[in-house]
Amino acid sequence: MRKEALYLKIAKVIEGQIDSETLRLGDKLPSIRTIQHTYDVSINTAKQAFLELESKSLIESRPKSGYFVSKTSRRKFSLPTVGKLKSSQDEKHPEDLIGRIFDTLKDKEVRQFSLGVPDKSLLPIAKLNKGMIAAIRNLNDSGTSYEPVQGSINLRRTIAKWSLVLDGKLTEDDIVTTSGTMNAIYNCLLAVTQRGDTIAVETPVYFGILHVARSMGLNVIEIPNHPITGVDLDALKKVLPQIKACCFVTNFSNPLGCLMPEAHKKELVNMLTEHNIPLIEDDLYGNLFFGTARPKPCKAFDEAGIVLWCGSVSKTLAPGYRVGWVAPGKFKDKIIRQKLLQTISTPSLYQEVVADFMEHGRFDHHLRTLRGKLYGNCLKFQRAIEDYFPHNTKISQPQGGFMLWLELDKKIDAAKLYDIAINQKISFAPGRMFSLHNQYNNCMRLNFGLEWNEKLDFDLKRLGNIVKSAI
């Protein structure tokens, strides 16, 4: 048997497994080394077999995570519609709806597709606990004293080091720690706006941002977000004279999971620098990329100090730790002052634990595993939705993170659907939550950062049936 034949034979075996659904969408393939041993072939033959499958779009490689069954090129469902530019008129905040969703978060029997964080089964809790016990022993006063207002020096140093993606621009002195990303954004908005100002956000947008903006008396313009490439810069350009600040999730926006291309990021920073408009960049999902590398934030292209780069470990390590940070550019002094006023300092211990976790490679290791699981789940969710939901369902194609955005039949009111679903112990986030305007009523956001199993697959089937019966 010739070598070519050998790799093709292996590829065919795997293709057959994919066809028979022995290997299913999102499943991880055996490693090249395993193939090598199983078929007793050279490493090059094993690699060639995978290349063959990749060329057919049957599998996808993910750096340091391995190969996954993928059929993205065979998507049956189309992308959701791009939202419309909406300025501060006819607003109605979906507060009651958000309240109803929050109320069900406590119910442990409910399937929580509405969660805004990965399920705790995906978090490295045992390792964090070890880190916590070590930190208690190592810290001079075990975190009982106030720490410097700017935040733990160890954490700031580690974030600076570890933000290589920013081309090493940041130093510990550029960073201020916060109580999670929401607190970073709250303080950034407080620093760069005044009551009555107008800010730009993407649409659909995480409702927390809308909430905060309104509480500060800010007007909000919702800029269309493309499900793949993010903020529509042409739309933004039109409203530029009206706005005092932008607040965007440039990497894997919640709920769309879109990724602003690097060229757009550069253009955005140039445009805002020219008009001296600060950009609050909410980069809390940036490490959960499905592509080949961690995408750069806009901060990487910021020469004028107008980008306030916000991050946290709430989506990757421990939401409850409330460890976040901001590199506020030229607004640093203002941010530090506000932090002092609001709360004096952030608790030390959690920051030390996170710093240590990042410093010693455990964070990178955890992220690789987490990304692998999330990407696999994303594919599995998409397949299940294509199997179980009506054929006119539209579905996003997240480039990272753990949120899926579905656009259902126009007749469907997702808020009403929610009431039916919650009776069947299934919770999701109705689309209306993600805008100040009366839109996205037929949309829903699903969290796929959950432990995949048969029950989960079945719950998606049940949800699909609920949707079907509503048309």
Give the residue with the Cβ less far from its own copies, 65 or 181: 181
Q: Is 134 in the site for its own copies (CB under 8 A)?
A: no
Q: Which of 32, 128, 354, 412 binds its own copies (CB under 8 A)?
A: 128
Q: Is 109 in the site for its own copies (CB under 8 A)?
A: no
Give the residue with the Cβ less far from its own copies, 111 or 264: 111
- How would you class 216 by CB atoms within 10 Å of its CB: exposed for 0-12, middle for 13-18, buried for 19 or more? middle
Taking the complex as a whole, the smallest distance from the CB of residue 121 to its own copies amounts, in Å, to 10
Other C-beta atoms closer than 10 Å to the C-beta of 172 total 17
Taking the complex as a whole, the smallest distance from the CB of residue 132 to its own copies amounts, in Å, to 6
Q: Which of 25, 182, 258, 395 binds its own copies (CB under 8 A)?
A: 182
DSSP E strands in 70-146: the ranges are 111-112
Q: Is 191 in the site for its own copies (CB under 8 A)?
A: no
Other C-beta atoms closer than 10 Å to the C-beta of 188 total 29
d(CA 221, CA 212): 14
Give the residue with the Cβ less far from its own copies, 209 or 260: 209
Taking the complex as a whole, the smallest distance from the CB of residue 374 to its own copies amounts, in Å, to 17
If phi > 0 it is left, if psi is from -120 to 50 it is alpha, else beta; for residue 142 that is: left
Give the residue with the Cβ less far from its own copies, 196 or 291: 196
Taking the complex as a whole, the smallest distance from the CB of residue 190 to its own copies amounts, in Å, to 9
Q: Is 147 in the site for its own copies (CB under 8 A)?
A: yes
Q: Which of 63, 148, 168, 291 binds its own copies (CB under 8 A)?
A: 148
**Distances from the Cα of 160 to the Cαs of 127, 131, 176, 367, 433, in angstroms?**
23, 20, 11, 18, 35
Q: Which of 183, 287, 435, 442 binds its own copies (CB under 8 A)?
A: 183
Q: Is 138 in the site for its own copies (CB under 8 A)?
A: no
Taking the complex as a whole, the smallest distance from the CB of residue 216 to its own copies amounts, in Å, to 9
DSSP structure class, residue 56: T
d(CA 322, CA 130): 18
Q: Is 142 in the site for its own copies (CB under 8 A)?
A: yes
Contact (CB, 8 A) for 384 and 457: yes
My answer on whether omega of the bond before 255 falls inside 30° of 0, hence cis, is yes
Tokens representing residue 335 in the block: 């941010």
Tokens representing residue 266 in the block: 């550069």
Q: Which of 3, 84, 120, 468 binds its own copies (CB under 8 A)?
A: 120
Q: Which of 40, 109, 141, 454 binds its own copies (CB under 8 A)?
A: 141
The contact mask relative to its own copies for 300-339 (x = CB under 8 A, - = no) is -----------------xxxxxx--------------xx-
Q: Which of 43, 263, 341, 471 binds its own copies (CB under 8 A)?
A: 341
Where do runs of H (alpha helix) occur along 147-261?
A: 153-162, 180-192, 207-215, 233-239
Q: Which of 94, 311, 347, 431 binds its own copies (CB under 8 A)?
A: 347
Q: Is 132 in the site for its own copies (CB under 8 A)?
A: yes
Give the residue with the Cβ less far from its own copies, 148 or 168: 148
d(CA 225, CA 234): 11
Which residue from 190, 206, 464, 449 is spatially nearest to 341, judged by alpha carbons? 190
d(CA 213, CA 219): 7
Give the residue with the Cβ less far from its own copies, 132 or 233: 132
Q: Which of 342, 392, 438, 465 binds its own copies (CB under 8 A)?
A: 342
Taking the complex as a whole, the smallest distance from the CB of residue 343 to its own copies amounts, in Å, to 4
d(CA 440, CA 202): 14
d(CA 59, CA 52): 9
d(CA 299, CA 326): 11
The contact mask relative to its own copies for 202-221 (x = CB under 8 A, - = no) is ------x--xx--x------
d(CA 294, CA 75): 25
Q: Which of 81, 87, 273, 345 binds its own copies (CB under 8 A)?
A: 345
Give the residue with the Cβ less far from its own copies, 18 or 123: 123
Strand partners of residue 404: 446
- Where b means 16+ CB within 10 Å and e means fewer, 80-104 reads beebebbebeebeebeebbebbeeb
Beta pairing class for 219-226 and 198-203: parallel
Span near its own copies by CB under 8 A; candidates 2-10, 26-34, 143-151, 367-375:
143-151
Taking the complex as a whole, the smallest distance from the CB of residue 183 to its own copies amounts, in Å, to 4
Taking the complex as a whole, the smallest distance from the CB of residue 123 to its own copies amounts, in Å, to 5
DSSP structure class, residue 311: E
Residue ranges binding its own copies (CB under 8 A):
106, 117, 120, 123, 125, 128-129, 132-133, 136-137, 141-148, 179-180, 182-183, 186, 195, 208, 211-212, 215, 317-322, 337-338, 340-350
